[in-house]
Chain A
Amino acid sequence: MNHDSYPDSYIRGILNTVKTIAMVGFSPNTSRPSYFVFKYFLERGTRVIPVNPGHAGKEILGQKVYSRLADIPEPIDMVDIFRASEFVPGVVQEALALKPLPQVIWMQLEIRNDEAAAMAEAAGIKVVMNRCPKIEYGRLSSEISWMGINSRTLSSKRGQILPGGVQRMGLGNAGDKKSD
């Protein structure tokens, strides 16, 4: 995988299949980016499990916080990393010890570690680096276009409105073409 530029189909495929996300480096501070992402995916019906040893045992928006990945008692589809790049190899090693293995390791904006990515990919895990899944979901669903953001997608097909309200869009539209 070329980690400088991901095809939209790759990102869309990940966001369409992932049902359970473990967020490593989650902050319960409501003004932090990790909290934004946490809340956004919870509202979309995704299971999101916060991981932070400093807050282990607490409940945030009804979700129990775990100390480390190994403590989570259920399979995880994706590990979303909110830690600085130098801490990523440790997180990936923890993820590689999980059974079953997660399908995806995702590193947030400004976070990139190519060695850790290679390690994960060697085990058959998909990797995304230096991206935000909330922004990518908003971009590919067209929600982000409401904010004047260049979604870099064109389509002659209607977008998908999610149940539960008109201001929530889904990824159901596969007819998008890349722009930019």
Chain B
Amino acid sequence: MADAERTPGFNTLAVHAGAKPDPTTGARATPIYQTTSFVFDDVEHAASLFGLQAFGNIYTRIGNPTCAVLEERVAALEGGTAGLAVASGHAAQLIVMQTLLMPGDEFIASKKLYGGSINQFNNAFKSFGWNVVWADPDDIGSFERAVSPKTKAVFIESIANPGGVITDIEAVAAIARKAGVPLIVDNTLATPYLCKPIDFGADIVVHSLTKFLGGHGNSIGGMIVDAGSFNWSRDKKYPMLCEPRTEYSGIVLHETFGNFSFAIACRVLGLRDLGPALSPFNAFLIATGIETLPLRMQRHSDNALAVAQWLAGHPQVAWVSYPGLPGDKYHALAQKYVPKGCGAVMTVGLKGGYDAGVKLVSNVKLFSHLANIGDTKSLIIHPASTTHKQLTDAQKTQAGAGPDVVRLSIGIEDKDDIIADLELGLK
């Protein structure tokens, strides 16, 4: 097999990408480089590293070999040129936007997003002068109408949390391309196992690694993946990438680092200055989790479809929003974007409204009542009283989190046990 020019499959990449045996010790598992700093070979080497003229490690806020394994692995799985691991999914979004936007600029975002992202965009980002303009994924034309000379990016989720909305990535990518701005896709719910947004025109992919990539509910983390597809110099709209950086003696990042310059900019400008670095220990746990991503995502999706079918026939259930169901509004888009399955997350409308939601989360014994998704364990939450509580009623309903709605993240337990627990809870 030596030097065979085969292209490895997804399962192989999930296990191997980024993780060669440690060059100094031969350790086969990825070592946890639990250190803040790295000694330089000599003064000249230090100068080369600080000047970005050599590849290497300086300080864990900017890079760490354990985090680098995770970065390369996710980049490989997404089909990107490079990755940058950060402290959380929110930190990933912060660094991406800080690299693209100046105060007074705008970005267009789908209004069907994770409630935490809606908060971040409406509050923290507005306070930085980065102005979100909302568009409706059910009306693709609303993205085009939102474009202005100040637009610097478009942001969508591949599968929206929690409403089960599948966004027509290719259609939005075409609008972003026409506007000359990058398309950012949050691929947290789908993971690259179910959907690879770069294949459909995404220029940047972001993740909350906390969810299915880590997969075991033990570590918070975020990831930025550079698709390598965007020409940052063409319209001179992105000064972080196309203008000389005085802090690095005048180098132009796009000219110097080519098709992975966005990831480098996020690291050597954004992460360096803003500081939300990922702990190497978290990187180790998440990278280990990813080794079984293909197995887990298929089981999550298969279990979720069985649960959705069962719930759809239950007398106390008003509706089930899960794109895997043949009658679902997003079923056709699901066939195109997530053909292997629609992931673990669904929302359920209970005929008994708010009180029925409270009763269900109180009565279940296998499902855990908590504010997360993407654990091996089945999870349940009533978004109106928790994750989406800070939104207005109109925003709650818009985001698919009205008072009658319960969100489920189906785990990888036996599906009969999961269904039996819901049956108990609905009695």
Contact = CB atoms under 8 A, between A and B. Distances in A.
Interface of A: 7-9, 12, 29-33, 35-36, 39-40, 43, 109-110, 132, 135, 138, 142-152, 154-161, 164-169, 174-180
B255 interface: yes
B56 A142 contact: no
A64 to B, nearest CB: 20
Contacts of A161: 23-24
A144 B13 CA distance: 18
Contacts of B12: 154, 179
Contacts of A12: 3
Given A31-B249, A147-B267, A161-B23, A154 B17 contact: yes
Interface of B: 1-8, 12-13, 16-18, 20-24, 26, 38, 40-42, 44-45, 48-49, 51-57, 63, 65, 67-69, 71-72, 75-76, 79-85, 244, 248-252, 255-256, 258, 260, 263-264, 267
A174 B249 contact: no
B263 A148 contact: yes
Contacts of A164: 41
Given A154-B12, A178-B8, 4 more contacts: A30-B51, A30-B249, A148-B67, A179-B16
B26 A158 contact: yes
Nearest to A156: B21
Given A30-B51, A179-B17, A166 B72 contact: no
B7 A147 contact: no
A123 B7 CA distance: 32
Contacts, number: 154
A147 B264 contact: yes
A8 B22 CA distance: 22
B45 to A, nearest CB: 6
Contact of A142 (B20, B44, B81, B263): B20
Contacts of B83: 148, 150
Contacts of A142: 20, 23
Contact of B256 (A36, A39, A174): A36
Contacts of A138: 55
